[in-house]
Amino acid sequence: MEMNDASLMDLIAGGSKVIVDVWSDNCPYCTQFSPIFDEVAKEYPETHFVKFNLPKVGSEFKKKYMTLQVGKPNGVPAIFVFEKGEVVLRHHGKIDAKQLKAFVNDGIDPSIEQLEQQKEKAKQELFSLFARRGELSMLLEEMPHIDSKINQIKQFIGAPH
């Protein structure tokens, strides 16, 4: 459901759980995210899922909730979860349906989830590299023996050294 500024602020102040999709007309990611938001909203009839087209100026919501946080992304699309009139979660940027559900159900910020997945992949790569280094270390230890064997074979077949 699309809401204007005053209606949105009243709904938030009412204290029920509210999920807000903040978007803008000139944002392609907002357009891509909109149908995802609509589909997920159908699965939560007891929760208010609302859309708010962020005006350029004069918005109480914008002044209160879209202020720049140093070191954190800001802008649209943005998803806010309000409970008892307070922001309990916020995420800036497009996400998929699975991430939105995790955000709504479990309070898992998609950017944190992605970071954890990247860390897990990095750990796996690190273990793989340690294993390869161990294999190389064993080969280096065998190198003098291998070189000696190569020279013996070369001498036997009459190849130049």
Q: Does residue 45 register a pLDDT over 60?
A: yes
- Burial code (b: 16+ CB inside 10 Å, e: under 16) for 2-34 equals ebebeebbebbeeeeebbbbbbbeebeebeebe
According to DSSP, the residues that pair with 23 across neighbouring strands are: 53
Instruction: Check pLDDT > 80 for residue 108.
Output: no
Q: pLDDT digit string (tens) for 12-40?
A: 999 999 999 999 988 999 999 999 999 99
Q: Tell me the average pLDDT across 128-144.
A: 80
Does the pLDDT of residue 48 top 70, yes or no?
Answer: yes
